Structure 1
Amino acid sequence: METASLQQDSLVEYGFRRVIITITAVLCALLEIVDTTIVNVALNDMKGSLGATLTDVAWVITAYAIANVIVIPMTSWLSQQFGRRNYFAASIIIFTTASFLCGNATNIWELVFFRFIQGMGGGALLVTAQTIITESYPPAKRGMAQAIYGMGVIVGPTLGPPLGGYIIDNFSWPYIFYINVPLGIIATLLTLSFVRSPKYEGSKKQSVKEVDWWGMVFLIMFIGSLQFVLEHGQQDDWFEDRTILTLSILSAVGLFLFIWRELVYENPIVNLRVLKDKNLQVGTVMSFILGFGLFGSTFIIPIYTQSILGWPATDAGMLLIPSSIMTGIMMPFIGKMIQNGVPQKYMVALGLCVFFGFSFIMYSRITNDTGSEHMFWPLILRGVGLGLLFVPVMTLSLSTLKGKAIGEGASFTGMMRQLGGSFGIALITTFISRDSQHHRVNLISHLDETKFEVQQRILQLQQSFIAKGYSTNEALGKAHQIIEGSVMKQATILSYMDVFLYLGVLFLICVPFVLMIKQGKTIVDTSSIH
């Protein structure tokens, strides 16, 4: 243990080197996360220029997400096999090269294939960047290191849409990928020049025969199928669709075989035994819920402002920027509080309550003409809540782990955060679709055509269409269409309100469970990630 500690301390950097390594790691984490959301606003342009359908072009997002979630659990093992610096540099090169090839794609399936390769490189950047930045700081400052890394992870998803919107408005969609190329080259050169790899006592490279190939196959079968189901379930009507049903069964079988393989194989690609740690168990659940809230709210707010309020994509993306800035401002203070010994479980509980406050205010404020001024302060509250959640959840999850188990634990929390986001978006889209139909039925039941107010409204609309040259019957049909459109819009708004309410209640329910967590004895010393 003493040798491991000395090797760990030998990675600590000071002065200029630490600044450069910090910038490199945050830049790589940002590149990865921005790319998960930057394409959302470019899908229409891609569809037009590549001659693809909306279903086809959705694969541009799906392929990246599947590759991301597959590679994250394997990151700790791959780092040990190839050396952290080499693996990190190779991941940046794969990500950068695939970005260039994405921009040059001549048809939709080329683009989807290169996005998958980009996701394989990008998924590794997240956990490895967290590892590098944490180990570059001395134990007393590792809470601050987590906070610096957290700024990139929280700000990244909200930078994507406005940046993508600006590039689409002023250039063309390939440039959302080309922008990665110069940044990737700089990050590669800085990594090779400054980043160092740890040497673990007793670690050895596995031969080809020793590699857990079946573990990889079952992991890909489980995670890949699950991610596809989550991305495409709603549009394909879930289990009514044969493909979704088949992949759901395949995912369940993959999970069972993966767990069995990793528990019986001598050199597992993912060490599941690390999940015996009670804090890590709670931490993986909390990471899932954090991903659910972070990506779910990042998804629903732009959709609401664009579909209900009619905002352009750039304005919808810009709305979330103050929230992200607030989280960024919070991070150093959170890091300082952790250094000063403030128990993380109380910070997490407070963060959950604050996020409930944000959700409840949004529930009470959204209408069909809500302005940005009505959402500014609730979104600032969201930023505070996420700031109180992110770093404490990470450090608390790993607080009772030691040695290489910490790196393996970090992979689990990273994977669960990504899966939480996928589940959040899938459930929210499904809920809005189903719930709005339920509200429509209720609203129509109260729309009695024998009432004077309803008759007057239909008559006014009919008269306005007659004045535009429509016949009496055509004008009446148009009037009914407008009434139906108003009902549907109101029903959709009610379903958005429900989403915010249920999201807030979910976070509030977690508070008592968080308060029961056992605090690690040496949070600061053990919050490094190997």
Structure 2
Amino acid sequence: MKLGFDKWIVILTVTTAALLQTIDTSIVNVTLNQMMGNLGASLGDISWVVTGYAAASAVMITMSGWLSAKLGRRNYFAASIVLFTIASIFCGLSTNVWELVFFRVVQGIGGGGLLTTAQSILIQTFPKEDLGIANAIFGMGVIIGPSIGPTLGGYITDNLSWNWVFYINIPFGILATVMTFAYIKEPDEKIVAGKMDWLALILLTMGIGGLQIILEKGEEKDWFDSSFIVGMSIAAVVGLIGFIWRELAVKMPILDLSLLRRRRFAVGTLFNFILGFGLFASVFIIPVFCQTILGFTASQTGWLLMPGSLMTGVMMPIIGGMMSKNKISPIWYSAIGFLLFFGFCFDLSNISLDAGPDYFFWPLIIRGIGMGMIFIPLTTITLADLENVEIPQGSALSNMIRQLGGTFGTAIMTTYISTRTVFHASRLSDNISIYNPLSAERIRQFTNLFLSKGDALMTATGKAYGLIQGTVMKQALVMTYADAFLIIGAFFLVCVPMLLLFIGKKIQAPAHTEMVME
């Protein structure tokens, strides 16, 4: 199949823009530890760098179709790239964590429409006979982004600083903008933009934002003993219920919630939420654990994550090819994928302070295979009963839910780690006493060590207790992260029997299934 020069440039342009979004989703994860140190942020604070971006992207997915019609597809695509690039500059220039969070939200607003618009550009630019190869090239670009993001971020962090994980977007953003205006054309058929349902958008933002704040700040503010958390709870409930009511009441909703009346689509959307929860949460806590507890460098962490991501990229076309033969139901692929993800989590739930980089290799390979076996089959099952005209709305809704699952998963795991660490530290500290022979002997050894270095008895004893307390806290963190992996795995294990809810008439892949995998 032969493509002309202009069409190759279109592929290169949309793939470059997609890489900006997909790389930036994963590149920051290995820099979080350095950000915490340089910006004086806690784990709860720094998690907003991840969840703020994802939540803003989720909201923008709902608006991308309307904005594309209102501004023109090319103009909206270019504007998204420009906003993303400018926000990247300000992210790098941030001097405190809340500045960084604000500009990450702005960056998410720009990035939210990139993948969706890029896919529509390909579909409308290429005839059916050329769409396969165009989609394959674009798909590889989307897969490469998350694969190289952590490794690239680790190298930049160790050799430059965390700021440069954002500055690196600048030349690619400029290139993609210039190429967009030079080579991407508006479609011949103009799409008429109806009225934007701003009330629905405000209610959605209020609901998602309020719920996100509750999950992130609830523990810090003593939950419902705080008037702030009570206020946010009211805002979240009013926003989400109001959004659902509005979408079911208007003729042209920004998200067609009536699609959830289809059993397979509703169940598939729930599974997408769980998938986002487990994927984002695990991708968030692994780099933090490796660098904070095990002392890995950012580069080591980046290289550690790459094989698993590449395995996902390898598995997706393999599973897609096997599914095209229609010999095995997508339900079975998904079941195996969920079991493999549980196996990955269960393996890491046995982690200890002695774990080195090699310890993570096979668990992450297993997760990579599992992810490859979940993504395309789950999308196929979810969209199988929808009409072709319903697929864009169905795709937008399921992708938004997956993004929200990711933001909630990261927030919940951050809160869980904070509370569970205190629990484990308290239990371990109960054993530190002069009446416990083992701890008394350890205190005596450490005290003698500091005495031999010239410290006074009181100073040496205080240092000995401090050293033991530090060891206790580190062990408590290991136990907490092990529990967190087990909880994430439990979500996936519960999914396996729930797959029976998909059983019904034969599942046929909808048109352009592979194009709705952002």
SS of the counterpart of 1:270? coil
Equivalent residue, structure 1, for 2:359: 374
Aligned twin of 1:391: 376
Q: 1:282: which partner in 2?
A: 267
Q: In the TM superposition, what is the alpha-carbon distance from 1:46 to its structure 2 partner?
A: 6.8
Selected match of 1:477 from 458, 462, 471 = 462
**Contact map agreement 1:363 1:501 (CA 8 A) in 2:** yes
Q: Equivalents in 2 of 1:497, 1:325: separation in Å?
A: 25
The answer to whether the Cα contact below 8 Å between 1:134 and 1:145 also exists between their aligned partners in 2 is no
Q: Give the alignment of 1:44-59 within 5 angstroms.
A: none
CA shift in 2, pair 1:52/1:476, >3 Å: closer
Choose from 493, 497, 501 the match for 2:486. Answer: 501
Secondary structure of residue in 2 paired with 1:377: helix
- 1:6 is aligned to none
Matched, 1:350 2:339: no
Q: C-alpha distance in 2, partners of 1:475/1:346? A: 62
Aligned amino acid, residue 193 of structure 2: K
Amino acid at match of 2:451: I
In structure 1, distance between residues paired with 2:422 and 2:95: 40
Corresponding residue for residue 311 of structure 1: 296
Hey, what does 1:322 align to over in structure 2?
307
State yes or no: 1:72 paired with 2:61: yes
Checking the alignment, whether the CA contact within 8 Å between 1:127 and 1:414 is kept in structure 2 is no
Instruction: Tell me, in whole angstroms, the C-alpha distance in 2 between the residues paired with 1:142 and 1:392.
Output: 21
Tell me the alpha carbon deviations over residues 178-233 of structure 1, each in whole angstroms, 9 at most, x when there is no partner.
Answer: 322221233234444555666779x6332xxx331211221221223233334444
- Find the aligned partners of 2:49 and 2:281 in 1 and give their Cα distance: 19
Confirm or deny: 8 A CA contact 1:142 1:527 kept in the other structure: no
- Letter of the structure 1 residue corresponding to residue 476 of structure 2: A
Structure 2: runs of 5 or more not aligned:
none
Deviations along 1:474-521, one digit per CA (max 9) or x if unpaired, are 222222222222222222211211112222221111012224314664
Q: TM-score, normalised by structure 1?
A: 0.85
Decide whether aligned partners of structure 1 residues 510 and 146 sit closer, same or farther in structure 2, where only a CA change above 3 A counts.
farther
Q: 1:446 and 1:352, CA in 2 relative to 1: closer, same or farther beyond 3 A?
A: same
Say whether residues 1:205 and 2:193 are aligned partners.
yes
Question: Which residue number corresponds to residue 92 of structure 1?
Answer: 81
**Residue in structure 2 matching 1:459, options 438, 441, 444:** 444
Give the stretch that moved more between structures: 146-155 or 180-189: 146-155
Counterpart in 2 of 1:270?
255
TM-score normalized with structure 2 length: 0.86
Aligned CA distance change for structure 1 residues 528 and 318 (closer, same or farther; 3 Å): closer
Q: Secondary structure at the match of 1:205?
A: coil
Aligned: 1:28 with 2:28: no
Q: Does 1:420 align with 2:405?
A: yes
Contact 1:462-1:475 within 8 A present in 2 as well: yes
1:525 maps to which of 505, 511, 518: 511
1:384 is displaced (CA, Å) by 0.7
With over 3 angstroms needed to count, the CA separation of the structure-2 counterparts of 1:231 and 1:103, relative to structure 1, is same
**Which sits farther off after the overlay, 25-34 or 260-269?**
25-34
1:150–1:396 CA distance, 2 compared to 1 (3 A): farther
In 2, are the aligned partners of 1:62 and 1:231 still within 8 Å (CA)?
no
Measured in 2, the distance between the counterparts of 1:306 and 1:148 equals 34
Say which SS state the counterpart of residue 404 (structure 1) adopts.
helix
Mapped partners of 1:104, 1:444: distance in 2: 42
| Contact kept? 1:158, 1:317, Cα under 8 Å | no
- Contact 2:425/2:472 (<8 A) preserved: yes
* Structure 1, 245-254 or 65-74: larger mean CA deviation: 65-74
Which segment is superposed worse, 283-292 or 93-102? 93-102
Q: Match of 1:443? A: 428
Equivalent position amino acid for 2:511 in 1: D
Partner of 1:253: 238
Aligned CA RMSD, in angstroms, stands at 3.5
How far apart in 1 are the matches of 2:428 and 2:100? 44
Q: Is the 8 A contact 2:342 2:489 kept in 1?
A: yes
How many angstroms apart in 1 are the aligned matches of 2:35 and 2:342? 37
User: How many pairs does the alignment contain?
Assistant: 513
Distance 1:145 1:512 in 2: 37
Question: Is contact 1:287–1:413 with CA below 8 Å preserved after alignment?
Answer: yes
> Alignment partner for residue 111 of structure 2, among 104, 109, 122?
122
Change (3 A) 1:430 1:321: same
Unmatched segments (≥5 aa) in structure 1: 1-11
Identity in percent: 45
Which AA in structure 2 matches 1:349?
Answer: A
| 8 A contact 1:339–1:524 mirrored in 2 | no
CA distance in 1 between counterparts of 2:215 and 2:124 reads: 35
Equivalent pair of 1:466/1:475 in contact (CA under 8 Å) = yes
Superposed displacement of residue 368, structure 1: 0.8
Moved more, 123-132 or 500-509: 123-132
